[in-house]
Chain A
Amino acid sequence: MKRGKNQEIFAEKLPRMVAPEARQLRKQAGDWLKQRRADAGLSQADLAARLGLKYYTFISQVENGFSRVPTETMAAWATELGLEPAAFAKHLLLYYEPELHRLLFGAKK
């Protein structure tokens, strides 16, 4: 999965932002999810099909760090990846809401 952060053609035409912490954490979450999917032996398309998605593009969107796993589908993602839903949600909270994770569970990453 390549992240063509700056396609040369438009690199100078429009301004880009320095990745803030929220984006970096989402990317870390994406990398973690990608690893869990690989451990489960699934492709992005396999996971999308199991989650009932027509296209696998949203899986890529999440793994590339541009979106989050929606709360309402976290249990389904966990199940398909062979993980315990509560532990899965708790781990994602570490990336998506680090302050809330710290308040609830004490320790920082």
Chain B
Amino acid sequence: MHCHTPSEPDLPFNEGSIALVGHPNVGKSVIFQRLTGQHVAIANYPGTTVELARGAARDLPETVLVDTPGVITFPPQSEDERITARVLLYEPLKAILQVGDSKNLRRTLLLTVQLAEMGLPLVLALNMMDEAETRGVVVNQTLLAEYLSIPVIPTTATRGQGVEELNLALQAGCAPQFRLVYPPEIEAAIAQFCTWLAEAGLLRTQVSPRALALLWLCGDAVTEAWLKEQLGGEPFRDLQALRSDLQLSIVEPLPVAIQQARLGYVERLASAVIVTSGHGWRGSGERLGRLTTHPLWGLLILASVLYGLYWFVGVFGAGTLVGLLEENLFSQVINPWAVAGVNRLVPFPFLTDLLVGEYGLWTMGMTYALALILPIVATFFLAFGVLEDSGYLPRLAALSNRLFQFLGLNGKAVLPMVLGLGCVTMATLTTRVLESKRERLLVTLLLALAVPCSAQLGVVMGLLAGISLAATLIWSGVVFLVLLAIGWLAARLMPGERTQLLVELPPLRWPVLANVVVKTLARVEWYLKEVVPLFLLGTALMFLLDKTGLLASVIRLGEPLVTGWLGLPPQASAAFLIGFLRRDFGATGLFVMESQGLLTPLQVVVAMVTITLFIPCIASVMMIAKERSWSTALGMVALITPLAFLVGGLLNRALLFIGWGV
């Protein structure tokens, strides 16, 4: 696995930046928006900012704010938490702003203690005061600020309360004075560590040597990599010896012993400052929340959510909107106008063909991207944004845990899988929320193999719905079976153990419309940037193949496979060739063939199954290479492509045998 290091290469060396750190789902991104006036480009899951968002602080001169992925505790465990740890080590920070959940003070303080040890100026924003008030939680903030010697600011970020005070506190910024004392053996090791670090002259990070020592003793991989890089062979081995010697003199594992000391302190602190801990769990949101994870009601709610999703994206997006845009706007208004315009202005037939011919950049590439894909993708991301902001997705993880257990995963894998129905490339990026390398690899494989993205789904559904319900059922049944079979097999062949599910269920909330819309727009923008160049490239390739007569040789070359094995007409070769670029683009080629009456229902189902199991698109292969490695990406292509043809050919024979759709 290549560790992704987003913060090192492009450091803007300015006056210093401020990192927003906190648990998942406490409103870091909302505070970021309030402080910078910007919306985060990609915030993928409840509390999971997968890419780092940076923005200039509106009211703090020369300061960049960095929004980090949520972290439960240090040392980090999932890849996105590791990104946060890297920001703390590598970024030229001048302060940390911790965003905490005011109704879960103990948990918040456990992280505060760890951040305070880093020695950087620290401000604690106790966010979601409104929810705390509704539940009757009262905290003595003045006392807390005094104990911790840092500014503690109560905020309700969604309403903008407390943001002014935050700005003032960040401007004043001073390092916390308090110091938590660990058992003597650990303190001795910390002292030794600090001496060695001072001797090595290591001052390149703002994080205090004491905090580094504690991270090192807890076995943090990011600190380990950093120390190895900074110290080199001999001193690094000394540190390793220091840690293993210390472990020998302590009964509990080191991380547990260190955690115990912190928990003890946090408990004393919390009992001193919590005035009332609230009356807990009441209200309609709570009852609905319980129903969503109920074995029976949960499934019924899930079914209605899925039906709603299908209706909004499949019927409204792919049907109504695509119909309006493609048939009415593009076919009747824009394209005739463009064709006429280009023909009048451009005197060269080659160029006019390239722009508005049968395989024209505008008439095929852009029309497809804007009229067919855009409505589907936009409606999907809008629906996904609502699900995400309502806090339903973690409940889905709990509900689907059994299924993913069968695939050697846990319910958390449902998040990238559902997002994969929108865009597989984006979903590959979000596999970072999973805890082990093994899980990330398994989910990446399943995404690349058997999760059709919304663009693909739109084309496939449009095509299959025209045939019969049985065709749709065969297609979805075969794809789902392949997903289960390959997932099951891969999970058993890949070394390592499954991680058991552990996920927080945030309260169900009403999504804020403005946030959902902005997020959807940001995602659609990302998607179009990804998609349009590929469509244009694919169209240009088709155009060249057509013009140079190479299309005929491609068709001849692919004949044994496409005609002999899959039982499709020879022209389908071209569609599969384009399928390497984007599989939905290949599917569109087949769509055109079907509308010309070249395919029987059997051939349509076989072709759709084969193209669905294909590699999603060039962009997703690049993303796999970036997130995992090139060998993984190429290995997946080498595994998936023959598998797609194998399943397609077998299905062809099976359907011929039972005599379906001939």
Q: Do A and B come from one complex?
A: no
Q: Which residues of A contact B (CB under 8 A)?
A: none
Residues of B within 8 A of A (CB): none
